[in-house]
Chain A
Amino acid sequence: MYGLKAISAANGWLITLAGISIVFSGLLVLSFFISNMEKAIRFLDKQKERIKHAKIKPVPELAKRKKKAKEDKRAEVTKVVWLSPEQVEVYNYYRWITERLGEPFSLQQLLEHAEKRGIRRPYYHLDMFLQMRLLYDAGGDQIGFYRWARDIEIELSEEKNEN
């Protein structure tokens, strides 16, 4: 037996139909998932914001202790550096990269990794951090390799001090 007869005899048409329906159902589920992903992300973001800004009345004693701890921390650091939101983002990225590189690190390697990860204006930000003395030369035998300044606290500034 050959051709269409053979296909019919072996339930070929039914199998084909089942295959097509499985593939299309899969695609349908996938497209539904992708089309609703934006809504799901928006929903999650809203929840995050809500948690962040939830008005929880602080217990007076706890609030006092927190304030004191913050003031103590401030007293420990000698300098507060104000960075724009973008600079803070890049700073955190750079800290993350250099944690993996280990201190003291090479600025070349830092730039290479920053470029690979698509960080915006890696050269400009590196220059800014050098100017602000957030980074300093390790000196001695390790001259030309860099470390992060320890006695510095990063604060978020609302205004953008970008060029």
Chain B
Amino acid sequence: MIDTRELKESRYLEEFSDSDLAELAAIGTATHWREGEIIFHEGSPAKNFFILKKGTVLLCYPNGRSLPLKNGGHGIGWSSLVSPFRYTATGICLTDATLIQFPGTELYSLIRMNAAFGHKLMAKIAKTIEERKKYRTKGDRQEQM
């Protein structure tokens, strides 16, 4: 469990009400990662959704493309809420990072219990999926070295 104020600071959750944030805070955990550490591997079962609080995380897609996410306001691991529940990229910490972790199953129960909250969160997730879609398309660079 984390403090609701920590979630309020996040740009990713700015549209959520205090009661929504309180429910999210109850299932969230602050996790700390070291520079170079891998948060999750592409293709592995997506068990957690993360909100980046501090640091830089590089999302590496299997086609060779990558997307650096810096500091707060980024949702990472949307695959934990979308079938087939497998991460589409590998998340690597470029610096020491703090992420708020939400177990996918608990987040899913929250969505089922609270339709308004679920709608808001899924809309946010859909936006993230759309924004990162271009990174998931097949790359034209080949292994050269």
Instruction: Give residues in A with beta carbon < 8 Å to B.
Output: 97, 100-102, 104-109, 111, 113, 121-124, 126-127, 130-131, 141-146
Contacts and interface: CB of A to CB of B under 8 A. Distances in A.
B117 to A, nearest CB: 32
Nearest to B143: A109
* From A106, A111, A121, A143, residue with most partner B Cβ within 10 Å: A106
- Tell me if A's interface is mostly helix, strand, loop or mixed: helix
Contact of B35 (A97, A123, A142, A143): A123
A106 B95 contact: no
Given A100-B144, A109-B143, A124-B95, A130 B68 contact: yes
Nearest to A146: B66
A103 B141 CA distance: 9
* From B60, B135, B141, B143, residue with most partner A Cβ within 10 Å: B141
B94 A101 contact: no
A108 B94 contact: no
B64 A124 contact: no
Contacts, number: 68
Nearest to B94: A127
B100 interface: no
A122 B35 CA distance: 9
Interface residues of B, number: 26
Contacts of A123: 35-36, 58, 92-95
7 contacts: A107-B68, A109-B64, A143-B65, A143-B135, A144-B67, A145-B139, A145-B141
Contact of A124 (B66, B94, B134): B94
A144 B141 CA distance: 11
Nearest to B135: A144
A127 B68 contact: yes
Contact of B64 (A97, A122, A130, A145): A145
Interface string B55-69: 010101101111110
A114 to B, nearest CB: 11
8 smallest beta-carbon distances between A and B, as pairs? A144-B65, A106-B64, A127-B94, A107-B66, A108-B60, A123-B36, A123-B94, A144-B135
A127 B143 CA distance: 22
Contact of B56 (A97, A101, A127, A146): A127
